[in-house]
Amino acid sequence: MICPHCGAENADSSTFCSLCLARFGDTAPSQQGYGQPAPQTPQQPQPQQPYVSPGDYRALTQEMAQQQSYDNPQQPPQQPYVSPGDYRALTQEMAQRDPQSAYRDTAYYQAAMQHPGAISSVRAPAYMRQRSKLDIVIMLLGYSFLTYCILFLCRLAISMVLLGAAFGGSEAGFTFGIALLFISDAVVLALGGYFVSAKAMHAGKGWLYGAGCAACTIFVWQLVVSIAFTFLMTGDVYVPLFTLAGILFTLFLELPMGALGGWLAEKRYMG
C-alpha cells in the first residue's frame, strides 16, 4: 500500500505509514497524489489603461472622474471646470439659470469662492436674484442721494474758499476755488458710479449704471433740493432753469465721469 501523504510503500495489512506514521484512514491533503500541483484558477487579464502624461491635468481629471463615477454610481455628474477669475461666464450662467435654483452647487459658484478675492477683502460677485426695473430704480435713487449729499458738502466747503478769496481780492484763490469745484464734482460723481456699478454687478452695463447714478444726482436730487430750499426760504415754488453752460457741463463732464466710474468697477470685479 502506498501512503497518500508521503508516498512510502507499506504492507497491505498496515493501518499506518511506517515512515510518516500517518493513518491510512485520514483524508489526504491532495487527491491528485504526491508531487502533482493543485490546479490553479486562470486569472483574467487586467484591462490596460491608456497612458496619461503626469503633466496632462485635464486628461488626469477626466480619468479620475470616470473612476469615481464607476466606484460610486449614485454620485451626481461633476460640473465642468471653471477658472476662478472667469466672472463674466459666472454672471452669464447666473442670468440664464432660474433665480430659485440651487446655484451654490454649481462649479461657477465654487470657483468664485475659491478665488483669492473672496478671502483678501476684494469684493466677489454678488449672488442675488434677478433685479426688476423697480429694484434698479430704487438702487440708483439711493446711491445717487448719497452721492448728492457728499457733493453738497464738498461744494459747501469750496464755497467758503471762494468767499474768502472774494473778500480778500485774490484772483489766484478764486481761480483755485473754481478748479476745486470742477475736480470735486468729477471725483464724487465717478465714485458714485463706481459703487453703484459694484453693487449691481451687471456684466457689460457698468458704465450705464454709473451714468444713471450721475443723471439721478443732477436731474433728480439737485432739482428736488433746489425746489425745496426755495420753498422754505420764500414760500414760492421755483423751478430752476438749466442754462446752456450747465447742460454742457453736465453732458461733457458729470455724466462721462459717472460712466467712467461704473466702467472701472465692472473691469475690476468682473474682468
The pair phi, psi for residue 23, each rounded to 5°, is -75, 140
Q: What are phi and psi of 20, to 5 degrees?
A: -105, 0
| Residue 118: per-residue pLDDT | 46
Average pLDDT of the chain is 75
Q: Which 8-state DSSP code applies to residue 238?
A: -
Q: How far is CA 118 from CA 5, 84, 269, 270, in A?
A: 76, 10, 11, 13
**Residue that is written with C-alpha cell 430750499 in the block:** 229
Q: Is the pLDDT of residue 31 over 50?
A: no
Quick one: DSSP state of residue 83? -
**What's the predicted TM-score (pTM) here?**
0.52
Task: Give yes or no for residue 82 having a pLDDT over 60.
Answer: no
Cβ pair 103, 109 in contact under 8 A: yes
d(CA 169, CA 153): 24
Residue 227: pLDDT above 80?
Answer: yes
Three-state secondary structure call for residue 123? coil
